[in-house]
Amino acid sequence: MKIAVVILNWNGQSLLKQFLPSVVEFSPEATVYVADNASTDDSITFIKSNFPTVLIVQNKGNFGFAKGYNEALQHIEADVYALVNSDIEVTQNWLQPIIKTFENEPQTAVIQPKILDFKNKAYFEYAGAAGGFIDKFGYPYCRGRIFDTIEKDNGQYNDEREIFWASGACFFIRTAIYKELKGFDDDFFAHQEEIDLCWRIINKGHTIKYNPNTVVYHVGGATLEQGNPKKTYLNFRNSLSMLVKNLPGKWLIPILFCRLILDGIAGLQFISKGKWSHFTAILKAHFSFYNSIPNTYKKRNTNQSPKYYHSPSIIYQYYVNNGKVFVN
Q: What is the pLDDT of residues 262-284, one digit of tens each?
A: 999 999 999 999 999 999 999 99
* Confidence check: pLDDT of 225 > 70: no
Give Cα 301 distance to the centre of its chain. Answer: 20
Q: What is the pLDDT of residue 171?
A: 98
Any idea which fold 3-218 has? Spore Coat Polysaccharide Biosynthesis Protein SpsA; Chain A (3.90.550)
pTM (2 decimals)?
A: 0.95
Q: What is the pLDDT of residue 226?
A: 63
Q: What is the pLDDT of residue 186?
A: 96
Say how many C-beta atoms besides its own lie within 10 A of residue 292's C-beta.
15
Query: What mean pLDDT is reported for the chain?
Result: 95
Say how many C-beta atoms besides its own lie within 10 A of residue 49's C-beta.
9
Q: What average pLDDT does range 59-74 have in this prediction?
A: 97
Q: What is the pLDDT of residue 304?
A: 84
* Confidence check: pLDDT of 8 > 90: yes
Q: Determine the Cα–Cα distance for residues 308 and 203; give it in Å rounded to an integer.
A: 9
Give Cα 257 distance to the centre of its chain. Answer: 26
* Confidence check: pLDDT of 305 > 80: no
* Confidence check: pLDDT of 114 > 70: yes
Strands in 125-265 per DSSP E: 132-134, 140-142, 145-146, 149-150, 161-162, 170-174, 207-218
- In sequence order, what DSSP letters do the residues of 13-48 get, joined into one string? HHHHHHHHHHHHHT-TTEEEEEEE---SSSHHHHHH
Q: Determine the Cα–Cα distance for residues 189 and 234; give it in Å rounded to an integer.
A: 8
pLDDT category, 217, cuts 50, 70, 90? very high
Q: What average pLDDT does range 193-204 have in this prediction?
A: 96
Q: What is the pLDDT of residue 199?
A: 96
pLDDT, tens digit, for every residue of 147-174? 999 999 999 999 999 999 999 999 999 9
Q: What average pLDDT does range 312-317 have in this prediction?
A: 94
Comparing 99-103, 110-114, 142-146, 297-301, the range with the smallest average pLDDT is 297-301
Long-range contacts of residues 283-290, Cβ cutoff 8 Å, at least 24 apart: 284/233, 284/237, 285/232, 285/233, 285/234, 285/235, 285/236, 285/237, 285/240, 286/236, 286/237, 286/240, 286/260, 288/233, 288/237, 289/236, 289/237, 289/240, 289/241
Q: What is the pLDDT of residue 303?
A: 80
Q: Hey, where are the domains in the chain?
A: 3-218, 229-320
Share above pLDDT 70 across residues of the chain, in percent, rounded to a whole number: 98
pLDDT, tens digit, for every residue of 239-267? 999 999 999 988 999 999 999 999 999 99
Q: What is the pLDDT of residue 222?
A: 55
Give the highest mean pLDDT range of 17-31, 218-232, 302-316.
17-31
